[in-house]
Structure 1
Amino acid sequence: MNKELVNLAYGLKFDGFWKPELEDVFSTDALKFIRVLDQKFGTERKQLLLERKLRNENWYQQKPEFPKLTQSIREGDWKVAPVPEDLQDRRVEITGPVDRKMIINALNSGAKVFMADFEDSNAPSWANIVFGQLNLFQAVRGTIELIDEERGKEYRLNSETATLMVRPRGLHLEEKHFICDDQAVSASLFDFGLYFFNNAQALVEKGSGPYFYLPKIEYYQEAAWWNEVFNFSEAYLNLKPGTIKATVLIETINASFQLDEILYSLREHSAGLNCGRWDYLFSYIKRYKEHPDYIFPDRDALTMETDFMRAYSRRVIQVCHKRGAHAMGGMAAQIPIKNDPFTNEAAYAKVRADKLREVEDGHDGTWVAHPALVPIALEIFNERMPESNQIAKQFPEYQIAAEDLVAKPQGQVTEAGLRKNISVGIQYLAAWLSGQGAAAINHLMEDAATAEISRTQLWHWLHRKVQLSDGRDLSRDLFERFYHEELSLLETEINPQWKDRLRTAARSFHQMVTAPELKEFLTTELYHTLT
């Protein structure tokens, strides 16, 4: 890439390191496409974010109801366009960041789909972003490999691999290393645009296509924006309309009231909806943090068996099947526990129970975070769902009212839950600031959603001066005591790879938890610290 040529011809300013092997990814034509996307859709993205902010102000004070303006869409007789053959069977999907080893192992895992993630399980350092794009470029062409000389291992793709999907970063994020018209380009458009421009034609030629997961959508207007991006992009490369397919993660409480509308907005490009559990809880707490009747208990008590979570997942299933779309289940984050078969089997038993609930409720597939969980989830879905999916099954018995989606959670706030949030939140941030977006903590593969719900619960409890299960009120002094005790333990117990960023992570986490106002996303607050 000739930086001077890029600056002169396309008005882009480049502010990241450069290596010759990235030339395939950053052709001048690819960069021109990024510039065109950002100029055409960047202003509307910012307007959508402003509208989101305005809609979210005092959201909890509004009566829970499905939008009156879109009643005709909910009552209409329509379906989304069919998905291609390689997206019909999605019974087990594995997800993870875009590093080379993860991509190879995930594509080889035996899962039906691999979602390569630029978002919550990827710390968006420049190195992670650009080499992630290179890794996917090579994966699409079957040339990706990794030779680990130290361990004497070689990693290459099998002859049969999972279908590839990609999750770009959310609309609220920017990519500061590329400046267009004196402003950072949208991270969503950057991640989507580079992957699409470089790989769409190659994917189509091999019988697949450019498939995506769309994160953090809160309102159907944001899905409609993505649909316009897709229409323009297909025309730009002379691809057949509807070639792009996208699954929307329903990971905000706002979006759960607009499922039909989101599917309708993307109906030519839709590949269904997915239940994003931790982010959904994070969103729910954000929107109801000031409600006088709502105190959210320990996050371990907020399982998928909780009334409002069961209502949410069943509504996703019901609406998706009515519209001919896949309804994807949530994540199993467990990872193998070595040298402790009893504890390991107990963890796997939880996975089995969770996946059994999903398939029996009507989900067409599920997520896992580790290759070892693929056969466990496959066994459950193969037994209970022998066909490619169960979209044909309708669930009229799921009578879910708007009030059911915001049913008041029950449970206690405990010292153990509070300490866990402090410890896990700091550990994850230390990993993230070290460049690792998927972090193994307490035998779970955690991503940014875990840190988000941890710090949001702590903010909620501290600012509401919640009473703990043992009768003590959570004062600032008591919180500070717990915080410093947990930090002291982490000084000796934290993963050595993250220790250099421990103090910075702890300080940042403390500032966000004790701030007068709850920040919307920690990833926006700490992006410049990371980069």
Structure 2
Amino acid sequence: MTKIILLQSPPPKLVDVQKSVFCQDALEFVSKLHRTFDFEIEKLYKDRFARNAAIQTRNSLDFKISPERNDTTWKVGPIPSRLQNRHLDLGDVSPSNAAHFIEAVNSDVQGIQVDFDDGHCPTWRNQLLAYHNINLLVNGKLPGAPPSISTCPVLMLRPRAWNMIDHDILIEGKEAIGPLVDFGILMYHNAKKLYEANSGPYFYLSKLEGSSEAKLWNEIFVWAQNELNLPYGTIKACVLIENILSTFELEEILYALKDHSLGLNCGIWDYCASIISKFGDRKEFLLPDRNKYVNMDRHFLNSYMKLVVKTCHARGAPATGGMAAAMLKPGSNGTDDESKIIINKVLEAKLKEIKIGVDGFMVYDVRLVPYVNELWKKNGTTPNQITRQINTNVIALDLLTIPQGGVTSQGIKHNVAVTILFIYHWLAGIGHFFYNGNVEDSATAEISRAQIWQWIRFSPPLEDDPNEQVTPNLIEKTASSFAAHARKNLCRSSAERKRLTAAKYMSLEIFYSRNPPEFITSYLNDNHKFRTLHNKELLSNL
């Protein structure tokens, strides 16, 4: 039997939950999963390191040349009936928040992004609550939720991405791999019942860096289906194209998952952040103020979405767009003038995606659901648009040509604020928050801190004050000014004030870093401040 150690004792009132979630058979399933794929996962990390080093010596990227790209005959496996129409998913739904989770499963949408990644903070308590609430829902025991999983929106389970290590579990003396823990626990407890209800198990896969990583996930799916006596092809997964490298291997990613594929998804902010991560030390990749100059109308992002749609539809797979992060003001039912403006902006943006050919997308605010459903009724007479073939010829230069534009004072203030507030909330065990009428999560934190880092590196002048450039001193003043304002309006206790101060200095650390962390969530997850706040450092050998 594998030696597996939980490094956390149960939080108050969750003793029985921990025993149930991490029962001996579930632990053995997770440990066997790790044993089986340990070598391949270590290779994945080494390949990422080598690939990043190689990129520094290359002038550009180009599409992968492969047999499956030239073979026009293959298609992905059949799409299950409940996935034929996924016009609308709710995004960033952390199942650790029972009230939000219950609201989501009662909504008039086709799917729910059940999130362990962008909108979720993986404290031990949050992990236990998330697993437990999903288990209750699947078994018809979650108070306030529909009694049958077959009548709920489809659960699109999104495990943590490969960059996330689970520091709370040791397997054979090694820290566990976050996505394998999530996948293993979710599969062990829920896969059979989801399958019997014609409702899964279905997944979103985050932050893949190419087809080799999709191939590894496919091998994991096949292994899990065999272990749990599920038919081959039961698991379906949609890959979020959030990394610039993956855009050059779309065909290969679909082929690697093939019979387990549920197409591809566009995630704009992680995607833009990855461009800075891979090429941001080159001036030609200087990304301008994102709120003013970066959107799906810009050629590099419009080309990216068209390529995703074209590739998916050619292979019989659905292509989904990103999430509308806009929020109506508290208490609004959407009929006031301010809310009407927000709703119209969301509908205008999503109509453009529909016209490009997407088969669905996400929103966060459930109050937007009826308006978006009406938009689909008017513009989507079929469950999906897969039969619609996109006539576009996207070349590498289309994807790598950064839009023209400058840096604004408001853009600096916004990016600094989002970074500080994300870290502040993460240290409190919260994975997303609301700011200036939008939901913010790790994706927006990634692009915010990446832009500030890049602007410091190249010191561009400010559009609204050409005599002033972006400097470390300007960023420090902006961060201090925002922190002082937030201290008065956000913090009610000395603990919150200390957390805000820590968030400011941690933000400055990554803004100034010579070699910044590739993922802000890795930086925070591995940080002693976060681990001290949430780890009791008590061993529980189960």
TM range (shorter): over 0.9
* Alpha-carbon distance between aligned partners in 2 of 1:517 and 1:321, rounded to the nearest angstrom: 39
Aligned partner letter, 1:420 = H
TM-score normalised according to structure 1 size: 0.93
* Alpha-carbon distance between aligned partners in 1 of 2:419 and 2:378, rounded to the nearest angstrom: 37
Aligned partner letter, 1:422 = V
Query: Closer, same or farther in 2 for the Cα pair 1:306/1:158, shift >3 Å?
Result: farther
Q: Helix, strand or coil for the counterpart of 1:293? A: helix
How far the C-alpha of 1:359 sits from its partner, in A, is: 0.9
Match of 2:404 in 1: 410
Q: How does 1:85-484 map to 2 (within 5 A)?
A: 85-95=81-91, 96-98=93-95, 99-145=97-143, 155-157=144-146, 160-300=151-291, 301-338=293-330, 341-395=336-390, 397-469=391-463, 470-471=465-466, 472-484=468-480
Match of 1:54 in 2: 50
* Alpha-carbon distance between aligned partners in 1 of 2:458 and 2:350, rounded to the nearest angstrom: 35
Match of 1:66 in 2: 63
8 Å contact kept, 2:418–2:448: yes
How far the C-alpha of 1:488 sits from its partner, in A, is: 1.5
Aligned partner letter, 1:449 = A
8 Å contact kept, 1:422–1:454: yes
TM-score normalised according to structure 2 size: 0.91
Structure 2 counterpart of 1:45, from 25, 37, 41: 41
Query: Closer, same or farther in 2 for the Cα pair 1:264/1:72, shift >3 Å?
Result: closer
How far the C-alpha of 1:394 sits from its partner, in A, is: 0.5
How far the C-alpha of 1:188 sits from its partner, in A, is: 0.7
Aligned partner letter, 1:381 = W
How far the C-alpha of 1:182 sits from its partner, in A, is: 1.1
* Alpha-carbon distance between aligned partners in 2 of 1:513 and 1:506, rounded to the nearest angstrom: 10
How far the C-alpha of 1:213 sits from its partner, in A, is: 0.3
How far the C-alpha of 1:57 sits from its partner, in A, is: 2.6
* Alpha-carbon distance between aligned partners in 2 of 1:81 and 1:481, rounded to the nearest angstrom: 54
Deviations 1:179-208 (A, max 9, x none): 011111110100001001110111111122
Over the aligned positions, Cα root-mean-square deviation in angstroms equals 1.6
8 Å contact kept, 1:107–1:161: yes
Aligned partner letter, 1:62 = N
* Alpha-carbon distance between aligned partners in 2 of 1:366 and 1:339, rounded to the nearest angstrom: 25
* Alpha-carbon distance between aligned partners in 2 of 1:100 and 1:12, rounded to the nearest angstrom: 29
Q: Helix, strand or coil for the counterpart of 1:523? A: helix
Count of equivalent residues = 512
* Alpha-carbon distance between aligned partners in 2 of 1:508 and 1:144, rounded to the nearest angstrom: 38
Deviations 1:87-127 (A, max 9, x none): 11100000211121122111111110011000110011011
Q: Helix, strand or coil for the counterpart of 2:270? A: helix
Structure 1 alignment gaps of length 5 or more? 1-8, 146-154
Q: Helix, strand or coil for the counterpart of 1:268? A: helix
Deviations 1:262-287 (A, max 9, x none): 00000010011000111111111212
How far the C-alpha of 1:530 sits from its partner, in A, is: 2.4
* Mean CA deviation greater in 478-487 or 81-90: 478-487
Query: Closer, same or farther in 2 for the Cα pair 1:173/1:74, shift >3 Å?
Result: farther
Identical amino acids, percent of aligned pairs: 33
Match of 1:25 in 2: 21
Match of 2:538 in 1: none
How far the C-alpha of 1:339 sits from its partner, in A, is: 6.6
